[in-house]
């Protein structure tokens, strides 16, 4: 049985439907990602799962519980790190951990989280003096104090530098390896690709794709990125007309084409036929970034009456 089940979820603000007939399930022990552009409805959907918003339609179950009618029970098994969390600046790390422990009926010993989250040196440090990465480590620890079955991280690493982001990824993996299910809302493709077992791609309130990161990339019509540096300019239309070419761009003097196997063949024959002197020819697999543009681009086309 899935640990989270969402069926036909709809949330409306005023006249705007911000979550529109969304359905998905999360299995126990998964890192499940919710990915999408700004305003796509990711946070709203997650807040419905947490029981913080009342949906207009749909059914949600968290470990079999209804987040609205059984809100207190859901709170006991769900650890939440909110998107914009703040604590009083004068509170120390130790005080924050003690305070949060007191809020739960069966907290784990917060001292066990101190080493796990690398907070040992920071116990007497005041919240206001912590760096962005240190604050996030504390928020992760606070979300785990109640010994949750599921944790929800919303934009956990947005404010972090690349090193702190990677350290936080390691924490998320450790949390899952310890048996906790993770629901992760993120903007970062690399983060989603690295961490998530499965991903739901949100766009304008709807799920436009749901798969493993590798599945999303391979389902894309352009799973290959071809790039080269021509010694003389190549006409744009010659590149755009290549079979399977979906995105063509020039980055400085480098031509970049997203396409498929047929595109690779066509690029090779174009170079030979036109005697283009091309250096630094590279053929690499597309990333989730490319797949995302492809998927959400298609949703744009559909909305605007394209193919
Ligand atoms: N309380 C509210 N009242 C009215 N509109 C809201 C409210 N909360 C969110 N919205 C609107 O609902 C839409 C979806 O917002 P939501 O925060 O769920 O998106 P998101 O995908 O999480 O975006 P982001 O990545 O920017 O956090 C946005 O247009 C937002 O302005």
38 alpha carbon to ligand 1 midpoint, in Å?
A: 8
For the chain, the structural domain boundaries read 2-212, 221-285
41 alpha carbon to ligand 1 midpoint, in Å?
A: 6
Q: What is the ipTM of this complex?
A: 0.95
Q: Residues 28-34: what's their mean pLDDT?
A: 96
The pLDDT tens digits of the residues spanning 215-245 come to 998 877 788 999 999 998 888 888 989 999 8
Residues contacting ligand 1 via CB (< 6 Å): 13, 18, 36, 38-44
82 alpha carbon to ligand 1 midpoint, in Å?
A: 14
The larger pLDDT score, comparing residue 24 to residue 245, is at 24
**What pLDDT is attached to residue 73?**
93
Strands in 213-259 per DSSP E: 224-230, 247-251, 254-259
The pLDDT tens digits of the residues spanning 166-180 come to 888 888 998 899 899
Cβ–Cβ < 8 Å for 189, 289: yes
205 alpha carbon to ligand 1 midpoint, in Å?
A: 10
* pLDDT at position 157 over 90: no
Q: Compute the distance between CA of residue 257 and CA of residue 223 in angstroms, rounded to an integer.
A: 11
Window from 17-21, 63-67, 110-114, 160-164 with minimum mean pLDDT: 160-164
> Phi/psi at 22 (nearest 5 deg)?
-95, 130
For the domain made up of 221-285, the CATH class stated in words is: alpha beta
**Cα three-residue angle 79-85-87, rounded to 5 degrees:** 105
**What pLDDT is attached to residue 220?**
77
Three-class SS of 50-82 = CCCCCCCEEEEEECCECCCCCHHHHHHHEEEEC
Cβ–Cβ < 8 Å for 299, 205: no
Cβ–Cβ < 8 Å for 9, 19: yes
pTM metric for this prediction: 0.83
- Ligand 1 pocket test, pick from 36, 41, 200, 208 with the greatest ligand atom count within 8 Å of Cβ, gives 41
* pLDDT at position 304 over 70: no
User: Ligand 1 atom 8: the closest Cα is on which residue?
Assistant: 44
Residue 139 CB contacts under 8 Å (≥ 6 apart), including other chains: 81, 85, 156
CATH number of the domain located at residue range(s) 2-212 in this protein: 3.40.50.300
> Phi/psi at 26 (nearest 5 deg)?
-120, 130
């Amino acid at each position: 049985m899935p640990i989270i089940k969402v069926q036909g979820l709809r949330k409306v603000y005023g006249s705007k439907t911000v979550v529109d007939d969304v359905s998905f399930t999360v299995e126990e022990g998964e890192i499940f990602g919710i990915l999408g552009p700004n305003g796509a409805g990711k946070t709203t959907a997650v807040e419905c799962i947490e029981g913080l918003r009342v949906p207009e339609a749909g059914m949600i179950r968290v470990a079999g519980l209804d987040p609205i009618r059984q809100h207190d029970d859901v709170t006991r098994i769900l650890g939440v790190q909110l998107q914009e969390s703040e604590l009083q600046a004068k509170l120390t790390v130790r005080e924050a951990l003690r305070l949060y422990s007191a809020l739960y009926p069966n907290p784990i010993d917060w001292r066990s989280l101190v080493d796990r989250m690398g907070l040992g040196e920071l116990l007497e440090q005041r919240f206001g003096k912590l760096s962005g990465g240190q604050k996030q480590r504390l928020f992760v620890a606070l979300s785990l104090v109640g010994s949750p079955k599921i944790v929800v991280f919303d934009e956990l690493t947005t404010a972090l530098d690349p090193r702190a982001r990677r350290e936080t990824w390691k924490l998320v993996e450790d949390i899952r390896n310890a048996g906790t299910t993770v629901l992760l809302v993120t903007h970062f493709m690399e983060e989603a690709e690295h961490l998530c077992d499965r991903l739901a791609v949100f766009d304008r309130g709807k799920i436009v794709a749901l798969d493993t990161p590798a599945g999303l990339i391979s389902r894309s019509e352009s799973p290959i990125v071809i790039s080269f540096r021509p010694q003389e300019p190549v006409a744009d239309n010659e590149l755009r007309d290549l079979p399977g070419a979906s995105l063509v761009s020039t980055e400085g003097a480098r031509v970049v084409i997203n396409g498929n196997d047929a595109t690779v063949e066509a690029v090779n024959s174009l170079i030979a036929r036109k005697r283009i002197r091309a250096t630094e020819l590279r053929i690499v697999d597309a990333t989730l970034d490319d797949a995302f543009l492809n998927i959400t681009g298609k949703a744009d086309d559909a909305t605007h009456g394209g193919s």
